[in-house]
Amino acid sequence: MTNYTFNNSVRIEVQGVSLVGDLVIPEHAAGLIIFSHGSGSSRLSTRNRTVASHLQRSGFATLLFDLLTEDEDRDGSNRFDIPKLTRRLIDTTYWVQQDPRTEQLNIGFFGASTGAASAIGAAAAEGPDIIKAVVSRGGRPDLADAVLPDLMVPTLLIVGGKDEEVLELNKQAQDRIQCIKDLEIVPDATHLFEEPGALEMVAQLATDWFRKYLKPDKQQPLHQQQP
């Protein structure tokens, strides 16, 4: 049974807005994974929460948060505003670096669907001193195409074998990424990984990647300057 030092909702104050998040910190956490969800989704995404639960049981803290306020989310165009979502993720990273509950934890990003683009963009901007690893689930790294060559953070791309269009986009993105990278294909899975065992495989692949690159004995992250 996992014991937690914190398991509750939080308010993330960034750039004049208040974002809602769910922060879970197991005892002796091995690192913190910040989730960036896809368009039309939220911190309540059942798929992301399944992955988060697996990470928590494996000793990682997780933060699932809404990148947009309720008012902003009513405007559908905001859901595809990758630069805005990337800025929110960067601001949230700064917030966790200042919070005493999480300030000493190495940080990784988990991005799903279009949220993978903001995760890659934020990781490229912050660099490997701040962000230690990125995992993309069924992601759209092509939406961050301009910064892919600048990415210096170990990145894992996970795609369903039957998600053919997205798989091709990920193969193209993998070729453009110049740092440590890998592409894992979940056999017979479609975009939402609804097939039996598919999401569990995603969770295990993500956990293994974060275990490799968010080791607690690695140097603690430098604090970025206030954006």
In a domain, 222, yes or no: no
**Residue partners of 189: CB distance under 8 A and separation at least 6:** 160, 161, 162, 163, 195, 198, 201
Nearest to 70 by CA among 83, 79, 61: 79
Q: What is the mean pLDDT of residues 201-218?
A: 89
In a domain, 219, yes or no: no
Q: What is the mean pLDDT of residues 9-20?
A: 92
In a domain, 221, yes or no: no
- pLDDT for 173: 97
Query: Using one digit for the tens of pLDDT, what is the confidence trace for 68-127?
Result: 888 877 777 777 789 999 999 999 999 999 999 999 999 999 999 999 999 999 999 999
Domain that residue 39 falls in? 4-213
Cα separation, 77 vs 181, whole angstroms: 31
**Residue 177 corresponds to which tokens in the numbers above?**
């990424």
In a domain, 226, yes or no: no
Question: How many structural domains are present in the chain?
Answer: 1
Query: Using one digit for the tens of pLDDT, what is the confidence trace for 133-165?
Result: 999 999 999 999 999 999 999 999 999 999 999
Query: Using one digit for the tens of pLDDT, what is the confidence trace for 36-77?
Result: 987 666 787 888 999 999 999 999 999 999 988 888 777 777
pLDDT band at 222 (very low <50, low <70, confident <90, very high): low
In a domain, 224, yes or no: no
In a domain, 90, yes or no: yes
Cα separation, 64 vs 78, whole angstroms: 18
Q: What is the mean pLDDT of residues 14-25?
A: 93
In a domain, 17, yes or no: yes
pLDDT band at 227 (very low <50, low <70, confident <90, very high): very low
DSSP string, 154-174: -EEEEEETT-HHHHHHHHHHH
CATH of the domain at 45: 3.40.50.1820
In a domain, 64, yes or no: yes
